[in-house]
Amino acid sequence: MKEKLCTLREAVARFVPDGASVALGVQLESMIPFAAGHEIIRQGMRSLTLVGPISDILFDQMIGAGCVQRVIAAWVGNVMMGSAYNFRRAVEDGVPHALDVVDHTNFTLALALHAAALGVPFLPTYTAGGSSVAARSPDIAELQAPFTGEKMRAVRAISPDVTIVQAQRADPSGNAHVWGNLGVLPDAVHAAKRVIVVAEEIVAPKVIASDPNRTVIPGFLVSAVAEVPFGAHPSPVQGYYNRDNEYYGEYHRTTRTRPEFEAWLEDWIIGVKDRKGYLGRLGQARVDSLKVRKHAWSVRADFGS
Amino acid sequence: MKEKLCTLREAVARFVPDGASVALGVQLESMIPFAAGHEIIRQGMRSLTLVGPISDILFDQMIGAGCVQRVIAAWVGNVMMGSAYNFRRAVEDGVPHALDVVDHTNFTLALALHAAALGVPFLPTYTAGGSSVAARSPDIAELQAPFTGEKMRAVRAISPDVTIVQAQRADPSGNAHVWGNLGVLPDAVHAAKRVIVVAEEIVAPKVIASDPNRTVIPGFLVSAVAEVPFGAHPSPVQGYYNRDNEYYGEYHRTTRTRPEFEAWLEDWIIGVKDRKGYLGRLGQARVDSLKVRKHAWSVRADFGS
Amino acid sequence: MRYTPAELMVAAAAREIRDGEVVFVGMRLPLIAFVVAKNTHAPSAVGVFENGVLRDTPARELLFTMSDGPNITGALSCLSMLECMALLQRGRVSLGFLGAAEVDRHGNLNSTEVRDAAGKTTRLPGSGGACDIAALAKRFVALLDHQKFRLPEKVHCVTSPGFGPWRSGRLAQGGPAAVITTKAVLRFSPAGEAYLHSHHPGTSIAEVLANTGWPLQVSPEARETPPPTRQELRAIRAYDRQGFWTR
Amino acid sequence: MRYTPAELMVAAAAREIRDGEVVFVGMRLPLIAFVVAKNTHAPSAVGVFENGVLRDTPARELLFTMSDGPNITGALSCLSMLECMALLQRGRVSLGFLGAAEVDRHGNLNSTEVRDAAGKTTRLPGSGGACDIAALAKRFVALLDHQKFRLPEKVHCVTSPGFGPWRSGRLAQGGPAAVITTKAVLRFSPAGEAYLHSHHPGTSIAEVLANTGWPLQVSPEARETPPPTRQELRAIRAYDRQGFWTR
């Protein structure tokens, strides 16, 4: 397998073109690839379609930075604090520009990715019956079920151009171990045309091969893998660091107006070179305070024969 | 959670009634719950429907023992040796009695279980186009896809009355760790009305809780859990013992005729009381020779926070 | 013992959980309700989180999101969202909790967008899993701040379906069981219309009616909501020590 | 170097694998072909096994089934069957190998049941994943024992589809690329009819034709199948040390 190890800058430049559809935040509130999103903002990509069930504040930042033309999601906001102001400004006032929102539910978005992962154009479901989400969505149609004749709904497959995931550890070929809550990660990886893995650490292939059930991302589906420690901050990475709750509160308090957001953007994204710069701004003491306080190691499994 | 720990005899007596549909061999050639199948034979259950993709010789034994009225499967035979004679005798000559065979492919069977696991009456697929399997099956229908208008096939959901799985380790509540090739296990567990877990070992709940991604069987779906070491022999259990290839060869050579099979049945199933008796017949030396020769431990993962 | 309105709501929500049930938990107050139920009358309840986590023990510390580290440590199982939603779709989830910006006469919820009197639209975060839980759980309970504009006769947008003509076939088994507000607990008639079941201590039936956007039916058996017990308050405060969600 | 018919078939099968391809491996001879290809011209090929296993290195010892312990130890990934079949369905699998009891003029395979001249039916094990691989892989290769009754003009039962009217839409991209028998290699015309591509050393075109159940077309470029190379034989024998599958 070819080596795909590169910097995050290279990965984004090569595999996230203007106009691409990009799945991010596929594990919901944890392991959100903030470093990757920030790199996309720094490189000034435009007209992206963002795909993800619950994006927490990363989608809000990318919308505010002007990268986004469309959002396909079930929930866009700040999970701990409520509203996300850039999302609201874009939808309500067209600032910084108009935003097309395709509303999904968590389940219909999961099914849309699952359909693409399975290689079928749709999947049937009972959810969203009676909901305006179903009535308004171009991705949800009525369906009469074979065998039973029931009225159901069909959810259209979504195949993102690129899925970006944060993994705990990966080898240089992109084979990656991910643990904790998986969200829609398995389907988002299989549904995508390309996959970028952002890993907390690059490890030897034998570490990954020691536990093939943990390898939820097989390297042959991966286009690029970058090592970015603390790449998901302020979201948590199980076994590495905790959620920086205070950061979400600060973001909420300091991005209420467009000028405030612009200052925030300059401070935290445009004005830093990369994730190292970002972490420097955050400060070592804060970084250290987020690290895992109490280790909880998995009991080993024997893959011997 | 209530304790569900019991003997395999109790589990089978309580949850595998005559006429039940039973999924077995859901991990294909490994971790086949032979001990459970043998207990079903000893208790003389009748008119069962067996469900499983590739059953190796367990289905053949249960058919030969007269427990089975119908088989819903993709492949019935002896994987290493070819034909399974009881299956052939039942289909070709109605011995010991007639057998209804519903042919599936591996994928359509996986989809049928997946549909039931998802709680929908069918799933769409492109497979089996042009095949007699699709043309003959009551479980496969034509379908016009929403959105694209393509002609596809729909596979009907299958929800077994009980799924019996062999797990490496489980706690007394039935929370079970399974690793290695999973086959259709996750869907077979979720699709079933009841689940029986046969574990190589019962371990403390904290062992299971140390690795929630390994807990592919959550205990609240489990009706009974029994500790049966070497319960999958002659099939392998990763990390515990290897496949007894010679046993499959012997079975092939000694069950060619009905009287030969009847003698085999008496020797290995009817004439032994339980799995302990079976292993006694097998002999300690042979048991020991199958044990894992070279351990290969998974590198630990940190679930700390 | 004194208590806050949020603590009363948590206690009322906890009592909706029956022992042994599989419950779609959600965050904020319902999460704490799950913890209270586990520590009081429902020790065998299993919690499902749509990020893929199942728990049969409460997390060791307060969660701000369902994906926080402590919710994973010691979890019963970590699956995918699809597998958790599949539990819902195949009818294995007894109860789900939902928040909303608006709840209407038939228990429909809106968390997508609202319009003010001047016609100005405010965009809300959206469904998340709310629509799925409302559609597919055997029953659901909504929590909201009791203000007249949040209880319109008809929501602007049905993010999450309550009672309506769609409650047939597979969806016949679901629907709202209760709406727990800052002032009252509403339940639903067999015809699917909300009625006042209890008003909280310190409010009156008249105050509830005055703050509801349609002529709310009142049960002849309407009574005062029982206040949180000492045991419930202890469980709430042991978990939300700083009162982040419950002060 | 001397070699067995099975060794020739393995070498011929190995040459069908291109470097970097994702291959549905199967057991017996194709498994060994995958090992040979990995050790010779296709070091980056990835093997998919329908039990859920992906491998990019050969197992450390001979396998009798795809679920044998050594196939799991050091695997690239252990998924579910559904996930492996999904790779097939979404067009990520370049090549699959299949065995069969019968292969016909248009590359249809039968592994479900056969009838003899007297009309007596013999029940075979069935499709397993064969139908799925034949339908959905970008191309497939069948292996079989070259006997006239195994190569009928039309199979008794189409377990696994070759070329036919169903090769449109999503299935247009698939179909048989080759049939490797104990006597010959057949390939397929653009119209989907088999023709003789090469006959093995020690047989003749006439012998192949005499043992085929329809008037088999012969390519004007038909030649002798190249024998296994020294390197290929070394790889075969290092893996199947006892010659369980290849003697």
Per residue in A95-148, pLDDT (tens digit) is 999 999 999 999 999 999 999 999 999 999 999 999 999 989 999 999 999 999
Total domains in chain C come to 1
| Structure confidence at residue B55 (pLDDT) | 82
Question: Tell me: the pLDDT tens digits for C198-244?
Answer: 999 999 999 999 999 999 999 999 999 999 999 999 999 999 999 99
Tell whether D54 lies on the interface with B, counting CB pairs under 8 A. no
Query: Mind telling me how many Å the CA of C241 is from chain B's nearest CA?
Result: 19
CB contact under 8 Å between D135 and B186, yes or no, is no
Locate the domains of chain A by residue range: 8-103+159-290, 106-156
**Percent of chain C having pLDDT more than 90?**
94
Biggest alpha carbon distance in chain D? 50
- Contact between residue A150 and residue B174 where contact means Cβ atoms under 8 Å apart: no
Fold of A8-103+159-290: Glutaconate Coenzyme A-transferase (3.40.1080)
* C-alpha to C-alpha distance for C182 and C9, rounded to whole angstroms: 7
As separate numbers, helices (DSSP H) first and strands (DSSP E) second, chain B gives: 12, 11
Residue type, C33: A
Contact: chain D with chain C (3+ CB pairs below 8 Å)? no
Cα–Cα nearest to B229, from B299, B282, B161, B175:
B282
Q: Is residue C246 part of a domain?
A: no
Residues of A in contact with C161 (CB under 8 A): 128-131
**Which run of H or E residues covers position A18?**
none
Query: Mind telling me how many Å the CA of C204 is from chain A's nearest CA?
Result: 30
Average pLDDT for A58-62? 97
Average pLDDT for A264-286? 98
Residues of B in contact with A245 (CB under 8 A): none
| Structure confidence at residue B2 (pLDDT) | 58
* C-alpha to C-alpha distance for C131 and C111, rounded to whole angstroms: 9
* C-alpha to C-alpha distance for B95 and B110, rounded to whole angstroms: 29
- Contact between residue A305 and residue D73 where contact means Cβ atoms under 8 Å apart: yes
CB atoms within 10 A of CB A14: 13
Residue A10 has pLDDT above 60, yes or no: yes
Contacts for B91 with CB less than 8 Å, ≥ 6 apart: B99, B101, D123
Nearest CA in chain B to C59: B305
Q: Determine the Cα angle at B227 with ends B269 and B184, to 5°.
A: 80
Q: Is residue D244 part of a domain?
A: no
CB contact under 8 Å between B301 and A207, yes or no, is no
**Confidence band (pLDDT; 50, 70, 90) for D57?**
very high
CB contact under 8 Å between D80 and B53, yes or no, is no
Q: Which two tokens stand for residue B200?
A: 């190589």
Q: Is residue C196 part of a domain?
A: yes
Q: Which two tokens stand for residue D5?
A: 């018919």
Q: Is residue D204 part of a domain?
A: yes
**Prior bond to B17 cis, omega within 30?**
no
**Residue C50 annotated among the catalytic residues of the structure:** yes
Nearest CA in chain B to C91: B119
Q: Which two tokens stand for residue C7?
A: 């603590």
Q: Which two tokens stand for residue D9?
A: 């078939």
- Contact between residue C200 and residue C184 where contact means Cβ atoms under 8 Å apart: yes
Q: Which two tokens stand for residue B206?
A: 């904290």
CB atoms within 10 A of CB B14: 13
Q: CATH number of the domain that C50 lies in?
A: 3.40.1080.10
CB contact under 8 Å between D80 and B186, yes or no, is yes
* C-alpha to C-alpha distance for D57 and A67, rounded to whole angstroms: 42
Residue C117 has pLDDT above 90, yes or no: no
Residue type, B100: D
Q: Residue A94 pairs with which residues in a beta bridge?
A: none
Average pLDDT for D21-30? 92
Tell whether B13 lies on the interface with A, counting CB pairs under 8 A. no
Question: Tell me: the pLDDT tens digits for D178-214?
Answer: 999 999 999 999 999 999 999 999 999 999 999 999 9
**Which run of H or E residues covers position B64?**
helix B57-64
The answer to whether the predicted template modeling score (pTM) of the entire model surpasses 0.95 is: yes
Q: Computed from CA positions of residues B82, B86, B87, B88, in that sequence, does the dihedral angle turn out positive or negative? A: positive
Contacts for D147 with CB less than 8 Å, ≥ 6 apart: D211
Give the D window 81-140 contacts with A, CB below 8 Å. 82-83, 86-91
Which domain covers residue C121, as residue numbers?
A: 5-239
3-state SS, chain C, equals CCCCHHHHHHHHHHCCCCCCCEEECCCHHHHHHHHHHHHCCCCCCEEECCCCEEECCCCCCCCCCCCCHHHHCCCCEECCHHHHHHHHHCCCCCEEEEECCEECCCCCEECCEEECCCCCEEECCCCCCHHHHHHHCCEEEEEECCCHHHCECCCCCCCECCCCCCCCHHHHHCCEEEEEECCEEEEECCCCCEEEEEECCCCCHHHHHHCCECCCEEEEEEEECCCCCHHHHHHHHHHCCCCCCCC
Neighbour-count burial for D68-78, b at 16+ CB within 10 Å, e otherwise: bbbbbbbbbbb
Please list the pLDDT of chain B residue by residue as tens digits (305 residues): 457 999 999 999 999 999 999 999 999 999 999 999 999 999 999 999 999 999 899 999 999 999 999 999 999 999 999 889 999 999 999 999 999 999 999 999 999 999 999 999 999 999 999 999 998 999 999 999 999 999 999 999 999 999 999 999 999 999 999 999 999 999 999 999 999 999 999 999 999 999 999 999 999 999 999 999 999 999 999 999 999 999 999 999 999 999 999 999 999 999 999 999 999 999 999 999 999 999 999 999 999 99
CB contact under 8 Å between B305 and C76, yes or no, is no
CB contact under 8 Å between A292 and B304, yes or no, is yes
Residue C27 has pLDDT above 90, yes or no: no
| Three-class secondary structure of residue A72 per DSSP | strand
Residues of B in contact with D78 (CB under 8 A): 179-182
| Three-class secondary structure of residue A140 per DSSP | strand
Q: Which two tokens stand for residue B300?
A: 């630990």
ipTM for this model: 0.97
